[in-house]
Structure 1
Amino acid sequence: MANSLVSILIPFKNVEEYFEECLESIRSQTYQNWEVIAINDHSDDNSLAIAERFSKLDNRFKIFTNTESGIITALRNAYGHSRGEFITRMDADDHMNQDRINTMLASLKEKGKGSLAIGQVKYFAKDGINDGYDRYAKWLNQLTAGGTNFEEIYKECVIPSPCWMVHRTDLDACGAFLPDRYPEDYDLAFRFYEKGLTCIPCNKTLHYWRDYDTRTSRTSEHYAQNYFLEIKLHYFLKLECNTNKTLVVWGAGKKGKTIAKSLTENNIHFIWVCDNPKKIGKDIYGIKLIHYSKLKTIENPQSIITVSNEQEQMSIKSFFTDLKQKSAKDYFFFC
């Protein structure tokens, strides 16, 4: 294990403008015993030529073609070709801190199996970063600093993809890249959580996220908000939902309606509450909305909160604190 092989999995498609910088950041790593398994997902620009040039310069770069299409099948393909005892991912348009692999590997060796190495992240862009992305990165880094990422997993993806590393055996136990569920990074985060992996705290920026208009997470339908809600509800019902409690949905905005509709279609009973006087008493999907104060009279409630306003979230937390209910047990923020 002293000189363990680390496999770096990279799906790529039409990233000629950024790919060289990405691959060069890997070549510059302080830790040297790695292999790159790069899967060409049917690029029609010069991305493949760039990858092949690096492969000729350095035989640690191994290039293959996706036999199907899409990032999930590319990741399966990459994983099937990998040989490393430790596995990590890389996005073809980002770049690494030169000590990323060494830092993550050292922390995994120290903590042992059942651990998940993560790192802090930073956005960069030619025209500057919008406020939403900046707030997300700061929120995520705060969690990563304390290793408390899974405490807020129902809010947003709490594992800074692709800035993670695991033992191969742990990734296998989590199902690796077998599920077809998008967003694939959020689904994998939930499976890390489901299998009880422990996030190793990190205070160092190890990965740089590039933002630009045609980035996949901006343009692909697989990263639309409804997919995130579907994943949250899927794992909530699988891992958290207590059939001895009364399920409550709080909020009747777009997200609240999406959750309520899905529960209704699956014949799952719930009570729907909000604080909007225009919606209280209305019948939506056959469910009549009631005022949230009724929660005080509901025995053993378990609530999904779909209210995204930060000030309102603080008030909601205070409300549950007064009821002696606990976050991530009695109530879960879905945004």
Structure 2
Amino acid sequence: MKVSVVLPVFNAESTIERAIRSILQQTFADFELIVVDDGSTDNTTRTVQRMTSMDDRLRLFHLSRSGIARALNFGIKMSSGKYIARMDADDFSLSTRLKQQVEYLDTHTDTGLVSSLVRYKGDTVAREGYATYVNWINTIITSGEIQHKRFAESPFSHPSVMFRRHLVHRFGGYQEGKLPEDYELWLRWLHHGVAMAKVNDYLLEWHDYPERLSRNHSHYAYERFFLVKSRYLKLYLKQQFGKLLPPLWVWGAGRVVNNRVRYLKQLGLTIDKFIDVKLRNDKGERFIHYTRLPAPGNLFILCYVSDRRGKADILQYLGQKGYNEGVDFLMMA
């Protein structure tokens, strides 16, 4: 078996048939579709059972309510494919998705995970923030861009990825706990040197409903993301600098930034200075105006500014000053 598509589902009676049909109608045929019903209480199970008679590539498994990470790990355990593709019950895979992603992994043998561009299917006015996020991830395509942007936000739509099965055995599968299981996996595998990229084509329609798990579950709260990224940031800095860690400067100030920086302090990292756009009467020089930045090479900047316009201005300014992303600074929000 070339590909195993793993689709966990909980109470998705209104969308599950569409999601399954989008996989069964793929132009690439050498796959199995493993649906893991995570304790649904609506008509989801009956719908999937009915569809199993249509195509013997569709397999249904049942779990008591355990959560998406455990359902995913179970689905991977039950699978047999060389490649594992993710799919969600809310979404729709375009007909050439599996074909293009398989061809990419077959051709790029040094790449461990491949994603794609995604089309946002939701209310772009009421859900402007999410729509903007989708626009952003569609600009992060190459392996280098994914490496550098990994700490800003999760660079992938989870149901858009396909990865090599052996990575699960080598570096572990989804971590079960109070955390965003997909983002933690990307950061862990990237830490271990797994190259990731995207097919530069729209292969998934990402449907955004008010009841979508990533909108409502506490595991996907902003602070959970910052806790996870702080842990892997510390590992990243150790990889880059060893024991000779340069002074860490944080670009940003205020209550929100302080709340997010506290995770770094809890991990034993020391912040030397804060960079701000405001002129401050700070005799201890704890805060420094951005126009007083020294030349790159003797410090490392962590930018926690979350305003998208502000982030773009900071990226441009640091580039003009000779700072290189991933070498001299990282965007953390």
Residue aligning to 1:326: 324
Q: Distance between the aligned counterparts of 1:24 and 1:185, measured in 2?
A: 24
Residue aligning to 1:305: 303
Q: Distance between the aligned counterparts of 1:125 and 1:282, measured in 2?
A: 50
Residue aligning to 2:187: 190
Alpha-carbon deviations, 1:146-190, whole Å to 9, x = none?
873232111111123111112211343232224546211111221
Q: Distance between the aligned counterparts of 2:193 and 2:281, measured in 1?
A: 40
Deviation at 1:134, TM superposition (A): 2.6
Give the 3 Å change call, closer, same or farther, for CA 101–254 of structure 1 in structure 2. farther
Query: Does residue 106 of the first structure (1) align with residue 86 of the second (2)?
Result: no
Query: Does residue 33 of the first structure (1) align with residue 34 of the second (2)?
Result: no
Identity fraction in percent: 27
**Contact preservation (8 Å) 2:13, 2:43:** yes
3-state SS of paired residue (2:27): coil
TM-score of the pair, normalised by structure 2: 0.88
Alpha-carbon deviations, 1:100-134, whole Å to 9, x = none?
11111111111125432221101113787733233
Aligned partner letter, 2:84:
I
Residue aligning to 2:247: 246
RMSD: 2.8
Q: Distance between the aligned counterparts of 1:266 and 1:233, measured in 2?
A: 8
Query: Which 5+ residue runs of structure 2 have no aligned equivalent?
Result: none
Aligned partner letter, 1:81:
M
Q: Distance between the aligned counterparts of 1:12 and 1:191, measured in 2?
A: 25
Aligned partner letter, 1:307:
V
Give the 3 Å change call, closer, same or farther, for CA 297–199 of structure 1 in structure 2. closer
Deviation at 1:194, TM superposition (A): 2.0
Q: Distance between the aligned counterparts of 1:75 and 1:301, measured in 2?
A: 41
Give the 3 Å change call, closer, same or farther, for CA 253–40 of structure 1 in structure 2. farther
Q: Distance between the aligned counterparts of 1:171 and 1:258, measured in 2?
A: 33
**Contact preservation (8 Å) 1:123, 1:129:** no
Q: Distance between the aligned counterparts of 2:314 and 2:34, measured in 1?
A: 46
3-state SS of paired residue (2:88): coil
Aligned partner letter, 1:97:
L
Alpha-carbon deviations, 1:65-124, whole Å to 9, x = none?
225611111111111111111111111111110111111111111112543222110111
Aligned partner letter, 1:275:
D
**Contact preservation (8 Å) 1:295, 1:301:** no
The one of 58, 62, 86 aligned to 1:61: 58
Give the 3 Å change call, closer, same or farther, for CA 67–214 of structure 1 in structure 2. closer
Give the 3 Å change call, closer, same or farther, for CA 206–318 of structure 1 in structure 2. closer
Q: Distance between the aligned counterparts of 2:13 and 2:147, measured in 1?
A: 35
Q: Distance between the aligned counterparts of 2:124 and 2:178, measured in 1?
A: 32
5 Å-filtered alignment, 1:217-256, equals: 217-241=214-238, 242=241, 243-256=244-257
The one of 79, 84, 101 aligned to 1:87: 84
TM-score of the pair, normalised by structure 1: 0.88
Q: Distance between the aligned counterparts of 1:86 and 1:292, measured in 2?
A: 47
- What is the count of residue pairs matched by the alignment? 329
**Contact preservation (8 Å) 1:251, 1:307:** yes
Residue aligning to 2:45: 48
Give the 3 Å change call, closer, same or farther, for CA 146–234 of structure 1 in structure 2. closer
